[in-house]
Structure 1
Amino acid sequence: MSRNRQSSLRLPSPANVLVGASIVIVAFLLLTPVVMIVWSAFIDSVFISFPPRGYTLKWFDAAIRYPSFINGFVVSLQVAAITATLGVILGAAASLVLVRGSFPGRGTMNTLLLSPLMVPNIVLGTALYMFFIGVSDRLGIDVSGGIPSLVCAHLLLTLPWCVRLISANLIGGDRSIEEAAANLGANPWVVFYRVTLPQMRSGVIAAALFSFIISFENLELSLFLVGPGQTTLPIAIMQYLEFNMDPTIAAISTVQILVIAGLLVITDRFVKLSRIV
């Protein structure tokens, strides 16, 4: 009895204390900038001071009235929505082939689909810009700027994540249900729509949301490919910082943080992010 009581009162080992302290320090370093941005969006002063003079919502009103932020937000929404839709369609098809198929070169195809993750975005943006310029010179059509080029570029970033998310969902699926449906006379399209697709649903939703987030907050790749009169929200924020330094930028950044955080929470409810990140 006394031994059990002593074991229950045993202090944690120094290694566990060190690991716990390291986790707390890392979390503090990661969250402090985010908390400071959100806090500075509400202070009633152009310059950050402590204690603050007061709190206000006027910086959010100023952000809404700034045309570049609104236009950038709309363009980012359009590009992210199109990219997420195409990424899910292509990613679902690729995942079905990679998980269910058996053919020579499957490993090479899987590596090729995931290869954009290995290239820095700034390098990928430069290469794509040079590629679009070369295509424009050959065809005589300007394809280097605008939403189509942004969508094509963002697909390179989102497609690998779509494949990983949907493949992780397919691997845990029960193929015996599909075989039973086929044995009962269902054609392949009915099997896919009635059996396979419901099994992929959580992975498809998570892939769509994750793709939307990646496209919506991308800066490095978009910087090379925006056209005249069209800019994304991250680029509009960067351009605003060149000539202004006030909490308006914190206000629009807070909106962006809330959108991305909300989508990440929803994504984690369908597929645990720890499985694919």
Structure 2
Amino acid sequence: MDRLRPGRWLLKGVAIVAFLYILTPLIFITWLSFYAQEIPSYPPEGYSLQWYKLAISNERFINAFLISAQVGVAATLIGLAVALPASLGIVRLRFRGRGTVNNLLLMPLIVPGIVLGFALYVFQVEIAIATQWPILGSFGGLIFGHVLLVIPWTVRLITASLVGFDRTLEEAAQNLGANRFTTFRRVTMPAILPGIVAGALFGFVSSFGNLEMSLFLVGPGRTTLPIAILQYLQWKIDPTIAAVSVLQIAIIAVAMLITDRFVKISRVV
């Protein structure tokens, strides 16, 4: 035990340093959002909540937030509808090319966002030319692109939940007279629910904060929150953007903490 103690302290020290390194940008952004002066400089002239008031009262940010939320929710629901049966097929079935299918479903995590966005833009242009469907720049086209961001997270976490699930529980339920649907609803679904919720949350966050793909797919009059922040920075630099970022992070963090309290998503992430 005495020999292992220095190694444990070293491991804890490295973990603390890594944790602080990850949190450093968030700490500075939060600090900047309370600056009193318009032009960020150090040391600050004072502290104020005026930038939060401006962020909340800015109609452009509010509309962009609502559009990002709508796209994120729609993409998450569609992504779950695709990912759940796909995960069941990957884990439960044995077929040729199963690994290839799994890799394809996870591919959007590997492909750079700017490349994926440009590819989807070209794809929608070709579809619009071939079918005359007004998909380019439409709300549906934007959701279609964001579904690709949600599917990898949901497939990855649902698959992880299914792999660790004891199938003898399903067999016991069926031996007691439950059919397959009842077994899935009463036994399998509650067991993998943390993975489903975790995948949905991570997929929603990925969609909500996406910039690269959205730049190619948004249409006139539709601006997501990351694009609204980028456009604001083109004309003005003040702590309002920091306040918007802190509010965005706080909303997502509170949602995840509340969800984890009831669903225990920490078991799979």
State TM-score, norm by structure 2: 0.90
2:53 pairs with 1:61: yes
Match of 1:105 among 92, 97, 105: 97
Give the aligned partner of residue 126 of structure 1: 118
Mapped to 2, the partners of 1:26 and 1:198 lie a distance apart of 35
Note the C-alpha offset of 1:53: 2.6
State the match for 1:212 in structure 2. Answer: 204
Deviation at 1:228, TM superposition (A): 0.4
Q: Which residue number in structure 1 is paired with residue 147 of structure 2?
A: 155
Residue 81 (structure 1) aligns with: 73
Partner SS state of residue 12, structure 1: helix
Contact 1:210/1:264, CA 8 A, preserved across alignment: no
Q: Hey, which bits of structure 1, 4+ residues long, moved more than 4 A? A: 19-25, 263-269
Q: Could you say if the C-alpha distance between residues 267 and 223 of structure 1 is closer, same or farther in structure 2, counting changes exceeding 3 Å?
A: farther
Q: Does 1:183 align with 2:179?
A: no
Shift in alpha-carbon separation, 1:167–1:11, aligned structure 2, 3 A: closer
Q: Is 1:258 aligned to residue 235 of structure 2?
A: no
Q: How far apart are 1:96 and its partner, in Å?
A: 0.8
**Structure number with bigger Rg:** 1
Query: Quick check: 1:233 aligned with 2:225?
Result: yes
Please say if residues 210 and 263 of structure 1, whose CA atoms lie closer than 8 Å, have aligned partners that are also in contact: no
Q: CA RMSD in A?
A: 2.4
- 1:153 positional shift: 0.9
* Paired residues of 1:44 and 1:56 also in contact (CA < 8 A): yes
TM-score calculated relative to the size of structure 1:
0.87
Identity across matched positions, percent: 46
Q: Which amino acid aligns with 2:220?
A: P
Aligned residue for 2:212, secondary structure, equals coil
* Aligned position for 2:29: 37
Q: Distance in 1 between matches of 2:92 and 2:153?
A: 18
- The C-alpha deviation readout for 1:69-100, integer Å capped at 9, x for no partner, is 11110000001111111112211111111111
Count of residues in correspondence between the two structures? 267
**1:187-231, Cα deviation, whole Å (9 max, x unpaired):** 221111111111111111111111111111111111110010001
| Distance of 1:197 and 1:73 partners within structure 2 | 32
Partner of 1:243: 235
Q: Secondary structure at the match of 1:239?
A: helix
Unmatched 5+ stretches in structure 1:
none
Measured after TM superposition, the shift of residue 170 of structure 1 is: 1.0
Q: For 2:172 and 2:13, locate their aligned partners in 1 and report how far apart those are by CA, in whole Å.
A: 52
Indicate how the Cα distance of structure 1 residues 112 and 51 shifts in structure 2: closer, same or farther if over 3 A, else same.
closer
Alpha-carbon distance in 2 for matches of 1:127, 1:11: 52
Distance 2:258 2:160 in 1: 17
